[in-house]
Amino acid sequence: MTKPELPKAYDFRSTEPRVYEMWERGGYFRPSNDPNKEGFDPKARPFVISIPPPNVTGELHLGHAARVSTEDLMIRYHRMRGIPTLWVPGTDHAGIATQLMVERDLLKTEEVTREELGREEFVKRTWEWKKKYGSIITKQIRRLGASPDWDRERFTLDEGLSHAVREAFVRLYEKGLIYRGPRLINWSPGLKTAVSDLEVEYSEEEATLYYFKYMLKGSDEFIPVSTIRPETILGDTAVAVHPEDERYKHLVGRTAIVPMLGREIPVIADDYVSREFGTGALKITPGHDPNDYDIAQRHHLPIISVLDEAARINENGGAYKGQDRFECREKLWADMKNAGLVIKTQPYTTTIPRSQRGGEIVEPMISTQWFVTIEPLAKAALAAVKDGRVKIIPERFEKVYFNWLENIRDWCISRQLWWGHRIPMWYCPDGHMTTGRLDPKACGTCGSTQLTQDPDVLDTWFSSGLWPFSTLGWPEETRDLAYFYPTSVMETAYDILFFWVARMIMFGLEFTGEVPFHTVYLGGLIRDEHGRKMSKTYGNVIDPLVVMDELGTDALRFTLLVGSSPGNDTNLSVKRVEANRNFANKMWNAGRFVISAVNSLPPEARADSEYTLADSWIWARLQQLVRDVERLFQSYQYGEAGRQIHEFFWSEFADWYVEIAKQQMQSESTRGQTVATLARVLDISLRLLHPFTPFVTEELWGHLRQALKESSLSALAADWPEALIIAAWPEQKEPEGWEDAKVADFSLVQEIVRSVRNLRAEKNVPPTRKLAASMLAGSKTTLLEEQSNTIAALAGLDASKLRVDAKAGKPSEESIVLVVGSVEVYLPLAGMVDVQAERARFSKELADTEAQIRRLEQLLSGDFASKAPAPVVEKERERLAALKETAQKLNAQLR
């Protein structure tokens, strides 16, 4: 029977889509225990992740790829462990981002602004946009090999989630935790909306500090004052000095004159003012500065707003009305200069608040907005982490979380946008407010039917905050909610700890009475190979789609998952992805070798012989690996786990065991057992690797399974399911007694092989030249006799001329001698022996060995022997004994 040959190089391009389709068709992404289906077992605890929903109109970037890879790894691992697993996918409507994108497109294609289009039409167009482009991101997530339950995909603006948002708002409002009122908020003049504190970013910038005179009424006296924003002078309602300041103390209570406007304002005393800074006097602009606002509250000062929604001067700015804030800054300053009010200007570095989205300078402004009273929510969220109901990994972020929640301020949730959840509040002509779970028909206070809904929408994060439970059906008491909530792990990047994670915990506790997840796993950011942030202006952006096209998804995933640790940023270079593409190819070829070994097995072959040394060794190593991987997974150290599997597969299985297997397969007596071992080790390796590199492992495993089923070793695959994605995770087995001895014996074989190879390289002996050799092996004689074929094959020796003796003299001919532990290897290399060089080599080795002996003897004679644990001491004693033996052999050679 001829079997189709597998291609020499792993063809990820054809494999990935085919395998993904197979998974989806097989329904493997759906939870194995579904509360909506027959046979549901409510006692089987599920493992649940809600995906951090990407922007519905977004394009996949490496951040997504890192998140999705990590989550998929967790999901696949738990699924393989037989745990009912649910990963809820979905997208976020991303208010500002999406609205801006559609606005930009409308302007470009139709030369129309959203205002010209009108609200209703604009929202309609945005929905059309969403329908057209909204599936791009989810398709890209599929390309990453993600295995969420697509049947449960949600969108933050879909009907169910809108229902949840409405419920949440109404509940908070009824509880008195949502209020509306004029407050000083951060205003984005470019976007013409309020933004929350979190959406403001501060950057160190060069600015100018303007010094000027605040003239006092009815005199030539003045108070010198400085400001960074002269245009806010127009809104000043006081000049403040420190109450103890001798320079100005006597002026408190006098009246100052606002430059150019002539408005009269008081001079007040407040100890907020720092005597040391600037002139020691402070202008108070409560309408455009948070500190001044607080001072104004204390002193009952009027609040004057001088800017309109586009940050132009409004009617309170007198002659400057209509000017842009920066234009006014110049003009006003020029006018003040002419009026003799200017003292000086000086360059000044300060932190400038900018809009996270638009980048323009944000203005503090008085504006009527909706707020969430955050303190009670924050307290509960704080407690949940403090008492361990929610665990944050890495732990250090708990401190950051505490610090933020302890100093949190009310959350401004209204946005002057059109794309989002409209605030469910209606006003009658008399200004009464009415809300409800259903749209009200009449005013709840006066019965008026002339209701208009609040034009604002809610902050996008308001709906994202409900994500872990709204996606499961909340506020309805669905079966999904009952079974899958609270979720297990929230996996996301640390940069949205406040934006999202903290708010989910607050909302989860408030609305469901439970934490939304037990564990928060915070990953790092992806940077370029030198640790720089990726940005289009630098031109250092790596597009994950391009990387997947060129090197394969598994290579990208393995790179993102291995070589970094939780909470730390990852520097990604294409070089590393290439190396991992090579690893996928390594798996492919090692797998191909095993599969062809299975395929060419004669029908009568049985795996009934004793394990050889190499068989035992690879098993011992594999069992050790399984245990280590399990331990590492339990502590979220996926990167280290991946590294160890990589090392095992490549450096031990492929480099050593496969090579030895080639020898063992030549003897009919060991052939069956060797092929069986190859197949079983490959099987377990593929299972361990599957969460990291799902495609190549699934593909190979399918071929392996097929081959085994058709071979005389079909029993090995008897209980394998139809796909690796649902195959059982390898179990840890307790170490068996023989392992250590076998591993040590095998190490000796490796050492001998390495020494010979080393010598061959040094002496430039061509690989084709098989050398004769004899080994003086002492107590290792039996072992080495058994291993002589293996050693010969791996070291390039002539097996028929390889002698192993317990004790014998040197061979008569001229030889090179290698001392490997207690074994001497003689290689007759007539004509190539340089007596001087050989002696030098021995001398050096002897010196090294003796140095180690001295060090160990010193160690063992000190407190170490009595204070260190017995096994550690024993190990060193054994090493010392071995070293002494080696030294003795070397000495003999030098005589």
Partner RNA sequence: GGGCGCAUAGCUCAGUUGGUUAGAGCGUCUCUCUUACACAGAGAAGGUCAGGGGUUCGAGUCCCUUUGCGCCCACCA
Taking CB under 7 A as the criterion, which residues in 383-442 touch RNA? 396, 399-400, 403-404, 407
Tokens of 758: 């080393």
Task: In angstroms, give the least distance from the CB of 585 to RNA.
Answer: 3
Side by side, the strands of the sheet bearing 391-393 are: 391-393, 517-523, 487-493
Half-sphere exposure of 878 (CA within 13 A, CB side): 7
The reply on whether position 247 binds RNA by CB under 7 A is no
Task: In angstroms, give the least distance from the CB of 86 to RNA.
Answer: 27
Beta carbon nearer to RNA, 495 or 834: 495
**Buried b / exposed e across 186-222, counting CB within 10 Å, b at 16+?**
bbbbbbebbbbebbbeeeeeeeeebebbbbbeeeeeb
CA separation for the pair 841, 495 (Å, rounded): 57
Tokens 């008026």 appear where? 448
Of the candidates 498, 511, 746, 826, which one interacts with RNA according to CB under 7 A?
Answer: 498
CA separation for the pair 339, 337 (Å, rounded): 5
Provide the 3-class DSSP secondary structure of residue 832: coil
Residue 775 phi, psi dihedral angles, 5° rounding: -120, 130
Close Cβ partners of 115 (under 8 Å, ≥ 6 residues apart): none
Residue 318: Cβ within 10 Å count: 15
Of the candidates 543, 853, 864, 880, which one interacts with RNA according to CB under 7 A?
Answer: 864
Task: In angstroms, give the least distance from the CB of 34 to RNA.
Answer: 35
State the DSSP string of 388-399: TSSEEESTHHHH
Site track for RNA across 660-699, x = CB under 7 A: --x-------------------------------------
Cis bond upstream, residue 486 (ω within 30): yes
Span between the terminal Cα atoms of the chain, in Å: 63
Footprint on residues 824-853 left by RNA (CB under 7 A): 852
Tokens of 120: 């209703």
DSSP 197: G
Footprint on residues 85-144 left by RNA (CB under 7 A): none
Beta carbon nearer to RNA, 589 or 732: 589
Tokens 């229902």 appear where? 163
Task: In angstroms, give the least distance from the CB of 697 to RNA.
Answer: 15
Percent helix, percent strand, percent coil in the chain, to nearest 5 = 50, 20, 35
Interface stretch with RNA, choices 46-54, 94-102, 299-307, 640-648 (CB under 7 A): 640-648
Contact assessment for residue 706 and residue 700, using Cβ atoms and an 8 Å cutoff: no
Contact assessment for residue 238 and residue 228, using Cβ atoms and an 8 Å cutoff: no
Of the candidates 291, 314, 345, 789, which one interacts with RNA according to CB under 7 A?
Answer: 291
The reply on whether position 38 binds RNA by CB under 7 A is no
CA separation for the pair 264, 301 (Å, rounded): 12
Bridge partners (DSSP) of residue 819 are 824
Tokens of 204: 């160190």
Beta carbon nearer to RNA, 79 or 576: 576
The reply on whether position 202 binds RNA by CB under 7 A is yes
The reply on whether position 9 binds RNA by CB under 7 A is yes
The reply on whether position 571 binds RNA by CB under 7 A is yes
Whose CA is closest to 505, among 399, 406, 383?
383
Task: In angstroms, give the least distance from the CB of 247 to RNA.
Answer: 12
Residue 45 phi, psi dihedral angles, 5° rounding: -75, 130
Beta carbon nearer to RNA, 128 or 495: 495
The reply on whether position 5 binds RNA by CB under 7 A is no
The reply on whether position 278 binds RNA by CB under 7 A is yes
Task: In angstroms, give the least distance from the CB of 550 to RNA.
Answer: 10
Footprint on residues 619-638 left by RNA (CB under 7 A): 635, 637
Of the candidates 113, 350, 450, 714, which one interacts with RNA according to CB under 7 A?
Answer: 350
Beta carbon nearer to RNA, 40 or 650: 650
CA separation for the pair 636, 622 (Å, rounded): 21
Task: In angstroms, give the least distance from the CB of 866 to RNA.
Answer: 8
Residue 345: Cβ within 10 Å count: 15
The reply on whether position 578 binds RNA by CB under 7 A is yes
CA separation for the pair 458, 465 (Å, rounded): 12
Task: In angstroms, give the least distance from the CB of 581 to RNA.
Answer: 5
Beta carbon nearer to RNA, 45 or 854: 854
DSSP 476: S
Q: Give me the helix-helix angle, 574-599 and 668-689, nearest 10°.
A: 140
Cis bond upstream, residue 475 (ω within 30): yes
Provide the 3-class DSSP secondary structure of residue 520: strand
The reply on whether position 346 binds RNA by CB under 7 A is no
CA separation for the pair 551, 562 (Å, rounded): 16
Beta carbon nearer to RNA, 432 or 754: 754
Footprint on residues 588-617 left by RNA (CB under 7 A): 589-590, 592-593, 596
Beta carbon nearer to RNA, 272 or 326: 272
The reply on whether position 326 binds RNA by CB under 7 A is no
Task: In angstroms, give the least distance from the CB of 442 to RNA.
Answer: 42
Beta carbon nearer to RNA, 288 or 422: 288
Of the candidates 69, 126, 162, 226, which one interacts with RNA according to CB under 7 A?
Answer: 226
Binding-residue total with RNA (CB under 7 A): 94
Tokens of 586: 């390594």
Cis bond upstream, residue 7 (ω within 30): no
Of the candidates 640, 683, 698, 745, which one interacts with RNA according to CB under 7 A?
Answer: 640
Footprint on residues 139-198 left by RNA (CB under 7 A): 197-198
Tokens of 364: 């503090």
Task: In angstroms, give the least distance from the CB of 205 to RNA.
Answer: 11
Footprint on residues 647-666 left by RNA (CB under 7 A): 647, 650, 654-655, 658-659, 662
Beta carbon nearer to RNA, 351 or 779: 351
Beta carbon nearer to RNA, 736 or 762: 762
Site track for RNA across 526-545, x = CB under 7 A: -x-xxx--------------
Beta carbon nearer to RNA, 72 or 199: 199
Interface stretch with RNA, choices 108-116, 377-385, 614-622, 857-865 (CB under 7 A): 857-865
Beta carbon nearer to RNA, 133 or 864: 864
Strands (DSSP E) along 459-505, which ranges? 487-493
Alpha helices, H only, 562-612: 574-599
Beta carbon nearer to RNA, 397 or 729: 397
Of the candidates 180, 263, 757, 803, which one interacts with RNA according to CB under 7 A?
Answer: 757
Footprint on residues 551-570 left by RNA (CB under 7 A): 563-566, 568
Per-residue HEC secondary structure of 282-326 comes to EEECCCCCHHHHHHHHHHCCCCCCCECCCCEECHHHHHHCCCEHH
The reply on whether position 273 binds RNA by CB under 7 A is yes
Q: Give me the helix-helix angle, 739-763 and 788-795, nearest 10°.
A: 40
Footprint on residues 868-887 left by RNA (CB under 7 A): 868-869, 872, 876, 879
Task: In angstroms, give the least distance from the CB of 827 to RNA.
Answer: 15
Interface stretch with RNA, choices 338-346, 439-447, 513-521, 583-591 (CB under 7 A): 583-591
Residue type present at position 79: R
Task: In angstroms, give the least distance from the CB of 863 to RNA.
Answer: 3
The reply on whether position 373 binds RNA by CB under 7 A is no
Beta carbon nearer to RNA, 283 or 780: 283
The reply on whether position 789 binds RNA by CB under 7 A is no
Task: In angstroms, give the least distance from the CB of 396 to RNA.
Answer: 4
| Cα–chain center distance at 532 | 16
